[in-house]
Amino acid sequence: MKRLIFFTVIFFPVGCGPQMDSDGELAKQYLLDQGYDIESYEGNKDYSFTRAELGDIPHNSMWSVQPVSPEPYIGKEIAQEAFVVKNHPLSEIYGHQEGFTEKVEVRVFISNGEVIGGISNPVGEGIGGCCYSLDGKTAEEIHGDDLVPLLKKWKDQN
């Protein structure tokens, strides 16, 4: 009996991953509604940035792939809910590369109980790439010829 209690106490917490709060549940449902297969929940992280930081990496990389302007969120707390998913557009792009696991990490951005965007990145040994929109688009695909002036505007606000 003592062994059972010992193993339960020692090994039970190991199997527990990060606990999902209401923002995590909102992000999970959003991803399911988009058609992604969720492999795991990786946890959450609070994020904020200043106007000056917007001109620098990684902030400008993250905000250049968002469907919303960063202006209303400067200085505000944004929850980043992280998941590993399958069935993502980046799986097709990176599928031929050695080391790619066919998994993609997505971070859903939530502010005041609303999904405002997020980023996605391929997962694998020796695989790089940042940042893509939640649906796997690059900043160039989203902004086209307006990207360089946008990044310059953010940089000049420093």
Alpha-carbon gap, residue 135 to 96, rounded angstroms: 19
Q: Can you tell me the distance from the alpha carbon of 74 to that of 66, in angstroms, rounded to the nearest whole number?
A: 14
The reported pTM is: 0.85
Residues of the chain where predicted confidence (pLDDT) is lower than 70 = 1-16
> First vs last Cα of the chain: how many Å apart?
64
Q: Spell out the residues 6+ positions from residue 82 whose beta carbon is closer than 8 angstroms to its own.
A: 41, 42, 43, 44, 45, 105, 106, 107
User: Quick one: tokens of 78?
Assistant: 């944004």
Q: Give me the percent of the chain exceeding a pLDDT of 70.
A: 89
pLDDT in tens, 9-34: 444 455 567 899 999 999 999 999 99
Per-residue pLDDT tens for 132-152? 999 999 999 999 999 999 999
**In this predicted structure, what is the pLDDT of residue 8?**
46
Residue 82 · residue 105 · CB < 8 Å: yes
